[in-house]
Homo-oligomer: A and B are copies of this chain.
Amino acid sequence: MIYQNHPKQLISVDCVVFGYQNEQLKLLLFERDLEPAKGELSLVGGWVNENKSVEDAAAQVLLHLTGLSDIFLKQVSVFSKPDRDPGGRVISVVFYALINIEDHNQKLVDEFGAKWWPVDQLPNLVFDHNLMVEKALEKLQQLATYELVGRDLLAEQFTITQLRNLYNSIFQREFDPGNFRKKILSLKAMDRLDIKDTSESKKGAFYYQFKSQEEINISERIVKL
């Protein structure tokens, strides 16, 4: 090691884990298991050590929580105010993750006492975690503006209405059903199946399924502003 004389810092990752259930965008909170603020609600986090990138560290946190190693992850930003954590100087790199609640709920709830909270009625979180969530949601909106978000949040098969409800909750506004359908279908990013979902309407709505990532090529804005 050449850079001998420079002070080192503690680095952590914190993950804003988004899920979608009952037509609500939710995120995963935990009761903090160490001091300070033990028992209060917080995001999941982990330490970054010598031989891992921050992406790997975040992926490892998610792997530990869900048993899955291919979870959708994006960097939000770095939080590094010297006094942001009363327990000491910790620089935190924040990520957001998208996961399917139904698939992973059991392990999460049973083993870790995790709780899903609707993003539009979050409680107070420890330290600067509320700010992290806010930034993460902005990034998610940014992503959903130019890319189709849903593969990681919805079931394998889903209706256009379910996708629209997801977009409604990401952007906290109501998209027009007819216009949303036309816009989404024009992207040619999904295949219509021959099966219908009859649970949400009497008429029944066709199920769709995302094409493989390679077949999808979206080069236009999906959501205006």
Residues from chain B with Cβ under 8 Å of A93 in the complex: 78, 80
- Complex Cα distance, B77 from A47, in Å, reads 18
Q: Quick check: is A177 within 8 A (CB to CB) of the other chain?
A: no
Given contacts A7-B49, A8-B10, A9-B8, contact A91 B36 (CB under 8 A): no
Given contacts A82-B53, A88-B1, contact A6 B77 (CB under 8 A): no
- Complex Cα distance, B78 from A77, in Å, reads 8
Which of B3, B7, B47, B90 is A90 in contact with, Cβ under 8 Å?
Answer: B3
- Complex Cα distance, B48 from A52, in Å, reads 19
* Interchain CB contact under 8 A, B50 and A2: no
* Interchain CB contact under 8 A, A82 and B52: yes
* Interchain CB contact under 8 A, A10 and B2: no
Given contacts A9-B48, A75-B78, contact A91 B225 (CB under 8 A): no
* Interchain CB contact under 8 A, A7 and B78: no
- Complex Cα distance, B1 from A88, in Å, reads 5
Q: Quick check: is A220 within 8 A (CB to CB) of the other chain?
A: yes
Interface size range on A against B: 35 or more
Q: Quick check: is A219 within 8 A (CB to CB) of the other chain?
A: yes
Q: Quick check: is A54 within 8 A (CB to CB) of the other chain?
A: yes
- Complex Cα distance, B116 from A109, in Å, reads 55
Which of B3, B9, B78 is A50 in contact with, Cβ under 8 Å?
Answer: B9
A54-85 vs B, Cβ < 8 Å mask (1 yes, 0 no):
11000000000000000000010110111000
Closest to A6 in B: B47
Closest to A49 in B: B7
Given contacts A55-B80, A80-B48, contact A3 B10 (CB under 8 A): yes
Which one of A2, A8, A89 has the greatest number of beta carbons of chain B within 10 Å? A8
Known: A7-B49, A48-B80, A53-B81. 8 other contacts (CB 8 A): A3-B10, A8-B10, A8-B11, A9-B48, A9-B49, A11-B91, A54-B78, A78-B78
Residues of A within 8 A of B (CB): 1-3, 6-11, 34-36, 47-55, 75, 77-78, 80-82, 87-91, 93, 219-221, 225
* 5 closest residue pairs by CB, A with B: A8-B8, A2-B87, A1-B88, A53-B80, A54-B80
